[in-house]
Chain A
Amino acid sequence: AQTVTQSQPEMSVQEAETVTLSCTYDTSENNYYLFWYKQPPSRQMILVIRQEAYKQQNATENRFSVNFQKAAKSFSLKISDSQLGDTAMYFCAFMSSPYSGAGSYQLTFGKGTKLSVIP
């Protein structure tokens, strides 16, 4: 079974600064998807960014980017120019590729990192 580990339960960053959240995972599969989800105090889970394992290029979405190291099974999230609205829980998640034949498309989530952006 896949496992996802987020080693930083809490982090803080000054507004406008850059912060990196760590995530490692364990799998024997070669094709899979990785995700970062954000959960603000409103509780709604929102997709931040997605990475497909077969793509070597790191995904970016505006101020959010990832550092995907497939051999190391590492998938960190970098938030640039942090804003107060970035304050939230951030969850890393893993999913087997639907084309891998694994037959299960569930996402496995890490325990989360609570990020606080300080004014």
Chain B
Amino acid sequence: DAGVIQSPRHEVTEMGQEVTLRCKPISGHDYLFWYRQTMMRGLELLIYFNNNVPIDDSGMPEDRFSAKMPNASFSTLKIQPSEPRDSAVYFCATQVIANTGELFFGEGSRLTVL
């Protein structure tokens, strides 16, 4: 398996623009997580899905953030409109509980909002 695949790897955009980050999970993994990493706040959980259903989105900072998982093979995290404080690395990670919970991370998407 190729692992968790995220795109784009780097994104530079201007304030006010829409940003869409994409994630292809590992096949067979039931849980998908979106994390945000910044120097100040470390790794923060934004939202997670179980079998494509959002379970907990309490970490989503504002209504500007939304996430979807239309099927088991694809998830998106959208920011509209983007702001400079959204600049961070966004990680997608997947998990199979039967395997004692290890998270498998993608390589992350580095977002810079000017």
Q: Which residues of A contact B (CB under 8 A)?
A: 33, 35, 37, 42-47, 50, 52, 91, 93, 95, 98, 104-112
Are the CB atoms of B102 and A50 closer together than 8 Å?
Answer: yes
B110 surroundings in chain A (CB, below 8 A): 43
Is B107 close to A, CB under 8 A? yes
Q: How far is the CA of A52 from the CA of B102 in the complex (A)?
A: 11
Q: How far is the CA of A2 from the CA of B78 in the complex (A)?
A: 28
Q: Which residues of B contact A (CB under 8 A)?
A: 31, 33, 42-43, 45, 48, 55-56, 89, 91, 93, 95, 97, 100-103, 105, 107-108, 110
A108 surroundings in chain B (CB, below 8 A): 45
Given A45-B93, A105-B95, A106-B45, A33 and B105 contact (CB-CB distance below 8 Å): no
Given A43-B108, A106-B45, A112-B42, A52 and B100 contact (CB-CB distance below 8 Å): yes
**How many residue-residue contacts, CB under 8 A, span A and B?**
49
B31 surroundings in chain A (CB, below 8 A): 105
Are the CB atoms of B42 and A33 closer together than 8 Å?
Answer: no
Distance in Å: Cβ of B46 to nearest Cβ of chain A: 10
Q: A42, A46, A47, A105: which has the most chain B beta carbons within 10 Å?
A: A105
Tell me the nearest residue of chain A to B30, going by C-beta: A105
Distance in Å: Cβ of B47 to nearest Cβ of chain A: 10
Are the CB atoms of B89 and A43 closer together than 8 Å?
Answer: yes
Pick the contact of A107: B55, B56, B101, B108 (CB < 8 A): B101
Q: How far is the CA of A81 from the CA of B95 in the complex (A)?
A: 31
Distance in Å: Cβ of B95 to nearest Cβ of chain A: 6
Are the CB atoms of B101 and A105 closer together than 8 Å?
Answer: yes
A43-B107, A50-B102 known, 14 other contacts, Cβ within 8 Å: A33-B100, A35-B102, A37-B103, A43-B110, A44-B107, A45-B105, A47-B102, A98-B101, A106-B56, A107-B45, A107-B101, A109-B42, A109-B43, A112-B42
